[in-house]
Amino acid sequence: MILLIVVALICYTTSLIYCIKMDLSRGDTVAKHEFGIIDFFEENKWYSDYEPEKYNCISVNDDLIEELIIKYNEELMAIKTYFQVTTQAGNGLDYSGITIIPPESLKQFRDVIVKANNRFKAKEFQLLTEKITEAIRKNKYLIHYGI
């Protein structure tokens, strides 16, 4: 019985490592955050489903988001956001959940990302800046899916 459990664990671990290697070989990272524009925002709707395709999300590596939070935490925490629904007011990004960033907070959020990108020079931050700018131009909400 113990041998059977050990074999099952080895098979599971091997398949997990294979999946991770496949993701990495495609240039994907296992841990990433996604940001997209909500074209038709609904007040009091729970945005709890993971739907990055629906919002045309771009991905940002978790390592970059971690550095962003470490270096710019005070500025991020000053940004008014919501966690999944507008009745749950928050500040900053929900690292492992869903954050809704309202149009009135987008310029402040973009300023933090631009400042961070001056330091990190990351293509992902440049793409995020462009996504935020598009949301500002269209006066739309931004959605963030944490890890």
Shared-domain flag, residues 19 and 42: no
**The pLDDT of residue 1:** 54
Residues 20 and 68 in one domain: no
What pLDDT score was predicted for residue 28?
A: 57
Q: Please name the residues in contact with 36: beta carbons below 8 A apart, sequence gap of 6 or more.
A: 52, 54, 55, 56, 57, 58, 131, 142, 143
Q: What is the pLDDT of residue 10?
A: 47
Rounded distance between C-alpha atoms, residue 56 and residue 128, angstroms: 12
Give residue 27's pLDDT: 54
Residue whose C-alpha is closest to residue 105's, from 132, 72, 66: 132
Residue 117 shares a structural domain with residue 98: yes
- The model's pTM is 0.80
pLDDT of the chain, 147 residues: tens digit per residue: 554 443 344 434 433 333 443 344 445 546 999 999 999 999 999 999 999 999 999 999 999 999 999 999 999 999 999 999 999 999 999 999 999 999 999 999 999 999 999 999 999 999 999 999 999 999 999 999 999
Q: Are residues 16 and 42 in the same domain?
A: no
Range of the domain at 138: 31-145
Q: Are 32 and 96 in contact (CB under 8 A)?
A: no
Residue 93 near residue 143, CB atoms below 8 Å: no
> 64 and 25 in one domain?
no
What pLDDT shows up at residue 22? 39
Query: Based on C-alpha coordinates, what's the Rg of the chain?
Result: 18
Tell me, yes or no, whether 10 and 35 share the same domain: no
Structural domain total, the chain = 2
Best CA proximity match to 43, nearest among 99, 87, 91, 101: 87
Residues 58 and 10 in one domain: no
Same domain membership, residue 40 and residue 9: no
**Do 121 and 106 share a domain, yes or no?**
yes
Residue 8 and residue 41 in one domain: no
13 & 83 share domain: no
| Judgement on whether residues 11 and 75 belong to the same structural domain of the protein | no
The CATH number of the domain where 52 resides is what?
Answer: 3.40.1760
